[in-house]
Amino acid sequence: MNLNLENGWQILPIGGDTDTAYMGIKSDQKVFLKRNTSPFLAALSLEEIAPRLIWTKRISTGDTLTAQEWLNGRSLYRSEMGQKSVSDLLYKVHHTPVLKKMLIQVGGKVVTPIDLVRKYFEGLPDDLNQHPLLNKVANYLKDNQPGLKSDFYEVCHGDLNHKNWLLSDKEKLYLVDWESARIADPASDLSMLMCQYVPRKNWEQWLRQYGLEVNRDLWYRIYWYSLINLLLDVKYYHQRGRFTEMNQDILKISELINELNF
């Protein structure tokens, strides 16, 4: 794609669903380029949560282009997601006041439990809507939302797939791909990560490693968000015909509600 940069830049697309990420090469300079990313990236760069922002410019197409430091490294493996470096960086995301202030300033969306329930039911295919287990869980979640006040919401990443954690060749960990960033209950992030990567028997230990004292209210929020995130994943996989992954998440839902004596 022609990004209309000045002469001398070689632009190479990087694989991804959105077709907005590129490698830019000019002489001995190499940068990571992305179209129309959030202005929130500047704050993430300053806090060293995302790779260093080098410049931002508006190009002739009307798009905004950002250039970040190109880092040699790799995504985390699934088996590494329980490490303390991961929980430490996520704690920093959730507890850095300037990030929350900046995300609010650039129009960051507040996402509440009912927003997630509505997202699940919106355009829900009939076979999922009529699935006895999924329907029972979804309606329970709608009627029994966690009560954390929005005053205690923080910046949440919203897509903590292991591929969004970048470990540089200098062993510095970054969190990338912030398109799903929102102001929300931090438990929505924690449960997303734990449900995917932390064995159930280690959940309490991981939460303490993150920095929380585990109590009844926290457990309820973790379970609530685990279930709604799994429902949303089931819907996502169903829409894309990825039925093996969908059924794996339905099994996880069944296991969780059995623990809750649903």
- Catalytic sites, residue numbers: 159
Nearest CA to 40 among 111, 110, 107? Answer: 107
CB crowding 216-252: b at 16 or more within 10 Å, else e: eebebbbbbbbbbbbbbbbbebbeeeeeeebeebbeb
* Alpha carbon distances (Å) from 153 to 14, 39, 105, 204, 228: 34, 20, 15, 21, 17
Tell me which residue of 69, 235, 221 sits closest to 207, measured CA to CA.
221
Listed in sequence order, the residues at least 6 apart from 96 whose beta carbon sits closer than 8 Å to its beta carbon are: 47, 49, 155
